[in-house]
């Protein structure tokens, strides 16, 4: 599907639900960017989640967020259940503004909702030659190392660092082996998942995404594995530690919910976010910084390749290439996602995209 048509449809859906046009554009930006970069689990496939959230009242269509504490370099926002994408951009924009004034800006958010891909907010900093970071906690889907019940979210971390002639370094990753969305993609396609992604109610590995998703929905046990996988042999405890770090910075620091309390009451999800903007020019001339970022990237890509492989990538390069390709050729969407969009359009009186 062509990007402009997809954007127009999503924006009209949000406007029909009472979201102001500017905020509808921001929310759409986050969803469409996910699909452009190849993160289909967080793209327009998530549109039903926001439609339901707004209809049921735990996502407020009009931004109600406010600053509750502030210093020259920091701020705490209370989202008051506003759309996570709208508050997320507001928080990152504020962090950027502070970084321009003081070299660093840190903004935490409480009482928010799901905000889409973490990378969207980190990328905003690149437009100002700043380093950007973004994190969020999420509903409990990940089991702790040696556990069999999900306690932490997939708790993503994103960082974007400007380069010169090379692509910027853009890392956008869940702290679980995979996000839940990848299980949902396989579930929709009726396909099994690789062993090592998730465990069942007993804490044993499973290849059945439908079974794991069903158990998660009913809180019967099981869940996704932390980055590194099961146990300590492949450092699953490190992924578990990273997930906990995100919960601390996003939840404990802001006063948002943490662990099992995130989405414990769906009507008051209380998700927490963390945003950081940092000016590298506060440490050394920007042109020297970007020159050395380029050198490091080229050194990595020029290093000897594994047998049978022809290229080494730096984080962000594949996503940038996908974005360019999808903008030219169109964004691939599964038939089930298209059907969902047609159903939403029909209910709201918005013509479905071709």
244 and 158 in a single domain? The answer is: yes
Q: In the predicted model, what is the mean pLDDT of residues 62-74?
A: 98
Over residues 240-266, the pLDDT tens digits come to 999 999 999 999 999 999 999 999 887
Give the domain CATH number at 345.
Answer: 1.10.1530.10
Residue 265 is predicted with a pLDDT of: 82
Residue 6 is predicted with a pLDDT of: 97
Over residues 317-345, the pLDDT tens digits come to 999 999 999 999 999 998 989 999 999 99
Residue 306's pLDDT band, with cuts at 50, 70 and 90, is: very high
Beta bridge partners of 70: 75
Q: Which residue has the higher pLDDT, 267 or 127?
A: 127
Over residues 167-220, the pLDDT tens digits come to 999 999 999 999 888 898 899 889 999 999 999 998 999 999 999 999 998 889
50 within a domain of the structure (yes/no): yes
Residue 326 is predicted with a pLDDT of: 97
2 and 115 in a single domain? The answer is: no
- Determine the structural domain holding residue 12 and report its residue range: 1-56+324-354
121 within a domain of the structure (yes/no): yes
pTM value?
Answer: 0.95
Residue 185 is predicted with a pLDDT of: 85
27 within a domain of the structure (yes/no): yes
The torsion angles phi and psi of 80, rounded to 5 degrees, stand at 50, 45
Whole-angstrom distance, CA of residue 222 vs CA of residue 148: 5
284 and 166 in a single domain? The answer is: yes
130 within a domain of the structure (yes/no): yes
33 and 153 in a single domain? The answer is: no
Give the domain CATH number at 254.
Answer: 3.30.1370.60
Residue 182 is predicted with a pLDDT of: 86
Mean pLDDT, the chain, whole residue set? 96
Residue 67's pLDDT band, with cuts at 50, 70 and 90, is: very high
Domain tally, the chain: 2
Residue 225 is predicted with a pLDDT of: 97
166 and 274 in a single domain? The answer is: yes
272 and 295 in a single domain? The answer is: yes
160 and 86 in a single domain? The answer is: yes
306 and 249 in a single domain? The answer is: yes
209 within a domain of the structure (yes/no): no
- Answer left, alpha or beta for residue 307, where phi above 0 means left and psi between -120 and 50 means alpha: beta
243 and 128 in a single domain? The answer is: yes
158 and 97 in a single domain? The answer is: yes
278 within a domain of the structure (yes/no): yes
229 within a domain of the structure (yes/no): no
217 within a domain of the structure (yes/no): no
294 and 352 in a single domain? The answer is: no
Over residues 5-56, the pLDDT tens digits come to 999 999 999 999 999 999 999 999 999 999 999 999 899 999 999 999 999 9
Residue 74's pLDDT band, with cuts at 50, 70 and 90, is: very high
Residue 188 is predicted with a pLDDT of: 86
Share of the chain above pLDDT 90, in %: 92
165 and 17 in a single domain? The answer is: no
């Amino acid at each position: 599907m062509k990007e402009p048509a997809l954007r127009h449809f999503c924006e009209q859906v949000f406007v029909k639900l009472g979201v102001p046009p500017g905020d509808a554009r921001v929310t759409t930006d986050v969803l469409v960017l996910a699909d452009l970069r190849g993160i289909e689990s967080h793209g327009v496939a998530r549109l039903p989640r926001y439609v339901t959230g707004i209809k049921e009242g735990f996502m407020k269509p009009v931004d109600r967020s406010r600053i509750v504490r502030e210093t020259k370099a920091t701020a705490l926002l209370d989202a008051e259940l506003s759309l996570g994408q709208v508050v997320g951009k507001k928080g990152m924009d504020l962090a950027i503004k502070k970084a321009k004034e003081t070299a660093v800006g840190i903004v935490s958010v409480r009482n928010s909702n799901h905000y889409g891909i973490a990378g969207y907010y980190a990328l905003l900093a690149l437009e100002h030659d700043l380093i950007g970071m973004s994190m969020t906690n999420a509903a409990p889907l990940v089991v702790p190392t040696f556990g069999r019940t999900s306690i932490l979210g997939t708790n993503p971390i994103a960082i974007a660092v400007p380069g010169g002639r090379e692509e910027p370094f853009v890392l956008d990753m869940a702290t679980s082996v995979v996000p839940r969305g990848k299980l949902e993609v396989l579930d929709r396609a009726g396909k099994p998942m690789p062993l090592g992604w998730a465990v069942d109610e007993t804490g044993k590995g499973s290849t059945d995404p439908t079974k794991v998703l069903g158990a998660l929905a009913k809180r019967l046990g099981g869940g996704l594995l932390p980055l590194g996988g099961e146990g300590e042999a492949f450092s699953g405890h490190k992924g578990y530690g990273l997930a906990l770090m995100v919960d601390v910075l996003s939840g404990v620091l802001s006063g948002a919910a943490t662990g099992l309390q995130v989405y414990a009451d769906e009507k008051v999800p209380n998700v927490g976010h963390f945003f950081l903007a940092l000016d590298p020019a506060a440490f050394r001339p920007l042109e020297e910084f970007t020159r050395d970022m380029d050198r490091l990237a080229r050194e990595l890509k020029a290093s000897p390749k594994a047998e049978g492989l022809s290229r080494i990538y730096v984080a962000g390069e594949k996503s940038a290439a996908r974005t360019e390709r999808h903008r030219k050729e169109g964004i691939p969407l599964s038939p089930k996602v298209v059907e969902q969009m047609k159903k939403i359009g029909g209910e709201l009186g918005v013509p479905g995209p071709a």
